[in-house]
Amino acid sequence: MKHHYWEPPIALYLFLGGLAGGVLFLAAIFNSFVVPGHAEVFALPVLVALGCVALGCVFLIVDLGQPGVFWRVWTTSKSIIKWGATFLVIASVLALVFFLAFVGDALPVLAGLSDLLKPAADFSLLVAGFFGLCIMMYTGIMLSTLKAHAFWATPALPVLFTISAISTGCAAIVLSIGGWPAAFSLESFVVSEVVLEILHVADIVLVIAELIVLLTMILSFAGAGNVTAKAAARRWVRGSYAGLFWVGMVGLGLVVPLLMYLGGGHSPAAQVVAPILVLCGGCLLRFMVVNTDDRAEIPGENRYYNRVAKKDAEFISKWTYGDNQF
């Protein structure tokens, strides 16, 4: 049964939230354990994460239908969305503290604030990275808890979304590391190159892992899932979604970037084109998963929807609020 209640803004929210979580998680790992003492090179990636969170929250609030009462997300005890919203708020505040700690050199008007926040920068990014990991896992867990939707109700989905989020986080850092507001220097350049080399290898592993999990999930559903999940998966494998799946997601989103990475980490293809394709593939994955919200039909449901008036029905457009037709 297909009645779409979750529209494209939700897919964008899941993608941008996972991307931001991946950036924060990786930046925290590198800053704390790999290249400590060079946090400024991660200032622009963290700013990218903040922008993704802000834009994603806008999409989420708009999709709720009543933006003015978004705060009720936190007052509903059983709402899983409140956990994601809480993770986003905490991660955003701490990421903003980190970014402001390094913006003083580029914006002298904020130099005093930067000096005040700099001692807390490393700790702020480390905690933001932890909540970034929570955000990545949450984006898949939120869908997998909706048991009525057979295609979503699988433990593989949180794993797939988490791997994809880390991979897109790698891509975003590759495209932005060492940029403004970090001052260019030989030391920052060397540090950025070291991080890029590690990310290059890491994304190869992540893309292979994502490809394995994705194909295992889809093909297992297509061959041995329940009736609803099987129909949805077969639409991906050889139905109306087959082109997007095989060419867009698997081909351009995973296999082509993998080949570019394997071809050499210092080529423009590996440093620019491949990360962009990984980001596009991650976004396409969320759109296709959210749009595959098939579920078993409730008795009498189709008859109800067939009797509901269409949006363009004449009697709906004739009446206006406060107008007494009788």
| pLDDT bracket for residue 66 (50, 70, 90) | low
Q: Are 24 and 46 in contact (CB under 8 A)?
A: yes
pLDDT score, position 217? 92
Domain boundaries defined on the chain: 8-299
Residue 317 has pLDDT above 70, yes or no: no
Greater model confidence, 264 or 55: 55
- Determine the average pLDDT of the residues in 231-257: 93
| Predicted local distance difference test score (pLDDT) of residue 56 | 87
Residue 147, φ and ψ in degrees, nearest 5: -65, -20
Indicate the pLDDT class of residue 229, thresholds 50, 70 and 90: confident
Q: Does the pLDDT of residue 285 top 70, yes or no? A: yes
Residue 274: both structure tokens together: 């491949």
Write down how long the chain is.
Answer: 326
Q: Which residue has the higher pLDDT, 77 or 11?
A: 11
Sequence-ordered list of residues with C-beta below 8 angstroms from that of 237, at least 6 positions apart, any chain: 218, 219, 222, 245
The CATH number of domain 8-299, selected from 1.20.1630.10, 1.10.274.30, 3.40.605.10, 1.10.357.10: 1.20.1630.10
pLDDT surpassing 70 at residue 296: no
What per-residue confidence (pLDDT) applies to 162?
96
Across the range 281-308, mean pLDDT stands at 79
pLDDT of residue 274: 95
Return the top range by mean pLDDT from 37-41, 140-144, 205-209, 235-239. 205-209
| Burial readout 83-112 (b: 16 or more C-beta within 10 A, e: otherwise) | bbbebbebbbebbbbbbbbbbbeeeeebee
Distance CA 7, CA 287 (A): 9
| CA–CA distance, 270 with 171 (Å, rounded to integer) | 10
The pLDDT value recorded for residue 287 is 94
Mean pLDDT of 115-131: 95
pLDDT at position 107, please? Answer: 86
Position 249 pLDDT exceeds 90: yes
User: In this model, does residue 14 exceed pLDDT 70?
Assistant: yes
Range 67-93 average pLDDT: 78
pLDDT at residue 257 in the model? 95
